[in-house]
Amino acid sequence: MPRRLPLQRARKRDAEPESPFPRADYQRAIIVIQRDTADIETVATAPFGDQRPGTSGLRKSVRHFKQEHYLENFLQSIFSTVDGLKGGVLVLGGDGRYHNDVAIQTTLRMAGANAVARVLVGRDGILSTPAMSCVIRKFGATGGIILSASHNPGGPEGDFGIKFNPENGGPAPEAMTEAFYQRSKVLTSYRTLNTPDVDLTRLGKTHLGSMEVEVIDPVADYADLMERLFDFDRIRSHIRSGGVRPCFDALHAVTGPYGREIFVKRLGAAEGSVINAVPLPDFGGGHPDPNLVHVKELLARLAQSDGPDFGAASDGDGDRNIILGKRFFVTPSDSLAVLAANARQVPAYSSGLKGVARSMPTSQAVDRVAAAEGFACYETPTGWKFFGNLLDDGCITLCGEESAGTGSDHLREKDGIWAVLFWLNILARRQISVEQIVRDHWRRFGRDYYTRHDYEAIDEERAHDLMTALKAKLERLPGRDLAGRRIERADDFSYLDPVDGSLTEQQGIRIVIEGGGRLVYRLSGTGTKGATLRLYVEDFEADPSRHALDTQERLSDLISAAGEIAELAERSGRAAPSVIT
Ligand code: VG1
Ligand code: CO
């Protein structure tokens, strides 16, 4: 395995155009350089220099994606890189955001021209990310293409994205995304079909050239899988008896139809318990990111005395989740720990867990469960792709990220609705509230206070300089005092994959403080404007009499120390973070 290029350094270089052709001349017309058969066209193109996928696929503004040949170039890089696609089976779908409809047809035509034998495409071009993973695995497909920018806003001024999942159903590993990028830099042409659009509104088979296209129900296979994992009977009777009053907010993103089928039809929740259930191209003007800032309507409902007592929401493509009780927020890091500690309550995990994994910036709450229960706990770089090998190799059963992603070996993607069902199953078994479950968990394992401060859309150069300056200090930090406590360790996180031996470096700065405190700094790999700096702060509290404090207050000394060490305000040019979660 070759050593990977450090992400930050490489991204900076992406800014420079690498095309050997002057784009302005080139963009004047689509030049068809070859017409192979009646329908297949080979179109001349020139590389864009900026098609290196980030944390989760290639993500850019819609405007950027709409540049002539931009989407086609990246698609051709995929078709030319993944051997098995020729003659293979491809699954295709997106989160329904603006441009999904156009891009789906472009992808179908290019799949046909690149000799894909069969495509399974979600009705209306829609598939959630976890449903994609489910379908790839169920039908033994060669891979899948997901059109999504996930939690990023949609609409003509919003973002678009594309990701590829190989046959295990998980995000393409780094070596593969790097190969796409390398290919994108040397492309001179792409192949497409000169054919009309395929009708995606009706289920069933049709043909595009010699390729078979099957329009599938995007919900059915996924819902069936959920029914096999969880105790639907028990959840249904818990809902029927009024033991729990759930409300699921789909934020006008992809999970609306999934939520309605599973919570209303199969579990008997009230009609109105799935809100914002119609997927819209601009997510109704909202931000499909399930955090406290963006689920205002859900919070308002939970605050009503006769309203729901269990709230949940998912993101643009359905892989994230937020879990709420009555006036109570479960941090994603705690959620992962609670699921791990209660896994035996759920049919699919009743024999216990093989191990767990969390991304590096995720709090250490799940580590405590692993230590107490005696199973392994892995720490990986941010991004679901790093869990793939551990899941495939049977090292872990559950995994999660602080960014509202949890999942298990049932798929190879994080899975929003799965997490909600897991919670409902625990509630139905334990017959107590969300808040009681979490408080009980803290009493047993201690509480890891946790917050993330995002500095969005800051100047790229300033962000990189901040990280460089901080890295230069790391060596001198251990042994020093931070907010009255000793710094134990300070490093730039690198990960040696225990399964394939690959090394991924420069994955974020960690400063570990005695007693379970931690500061983490990293640059986002999903943002599309400038740079986004994420500061993650956590601290451990064993004393149960101190488990009900305000998080920002409890962490305030560490937050200010984190600002001082990194000279955050001066170097970022921002007095305060743009989002606190
Ligand atoms: C963010 C999160 C990361 C998550 C990724 C994709 O990445 O921090 O945990 O895996 O988004 O999630 P970054 O590089 O911006 O921090 V999704 O639901 O947007 O595909
Ligand atoms: Co997502």
Measured CA to CA, the distance from residue 159 to residue 99 in angstroms comes to 10
Side chain identity, residue 552: Q
Beta carbon of 524 within 6 Å of any ligand 1 atom: yes
Q: What is the pLDDT of residues 421-446, one digit of tens each?
A: 999 999 999 999 999 999 999 999 99
Mutating to test ligand 1, I would choose from 128, 359, 382, 418 the residue with most ligand atoms within 8 A of its C-beta, which is 382
Note the pLDDT of residue 418.
Answer: 98
Residue with tokens 């040397």: 186
Q: Residue 12: which H helix or E strand, with range?
A: helix 7-14
Examine the residue annotation and report whether 150 is marked as an active-site residue of this protein: yes
Segments of the chain with pLDDT less than 50? 1-29
Q: Which ligand approaches the C-alpha of residue 255 most closely?
A: 2
Note the pLDDT of residue 30.
Answer: 55
Ligand 1 atom nearest residue 129's Cα:
20
Measured CA to CA, the distance from residue 111 to residue 70 in angstroms comes to 16
Helix (H, G, I), strand (E, B) or coil at 272: helix
Rg (CA), the chain: 24
Ligand 1 atom nearest residue 54's Cα:
14
Beta carbon of 95 within 6 Å of any ligand 1 atom: no
CB 360 within 8 A of CB 507: yes
Strand partners, 538: 450, 518
Note the pLDDT of residue 10.
Answer: 31
Q: Which of 56, 77, 148, 150 is catalytic?
A: 150
Q: What is the pLDDT of residues 219-268, one digit of tens each?
A: 999 999 999 999 999 999 999 999 999 999 999 999 999 999 999 999 99
Helix (H, G, I), strand (E, B) or coil at 45: coil
CB 512 within 8 A of CB 536: no
Ligand 1 atom nearest residue 315's Cα:
18
Note the pLDDT of residue 36.
Answer: 55
Q: Enumerate residues 6+ apart whose C-beta is below 8 A from 575.
A: 569
Q: Which ligand approaches the C-alpha of residue 403 most closely?
A: 1
Q: Which ligand approaches the C-alpha of residue 161 most closely?
A: 1
Note the pLDDT of residue 18.
Answer: 39
Q: How far is the centre of ligand 2, averaged over its atoms, from the C-alpha of 60 (Å)?
A: 15
Helix (H, G, I), strand (E, B) or coil at 188: coil
β strands within 351-446, DSSP E: 355-359, 376-380, 398-401, 405-408
Measured CA to CA, the distance from residue 181 to residue 291 in angstroms comes to 32
CA torsion angle 102 103 108 111 (round to 10):
150
- Tell me the pTM: 0.92
Beta carbon of 342 within 6 Å of any ligand 1 atom: no
Which chain residues have CB less than 5 Å from ligand 2, an ion?
Answer: 150, 315, 317, 319
Q: What is the pLDDT of residues 449-472, one digit of tens each?
A: 999 999 999 999 999 999 999 999
Two tokens at 521?
């700094």
Beta carbon of 525 within 6 Å of any ligand 1 atom: yes
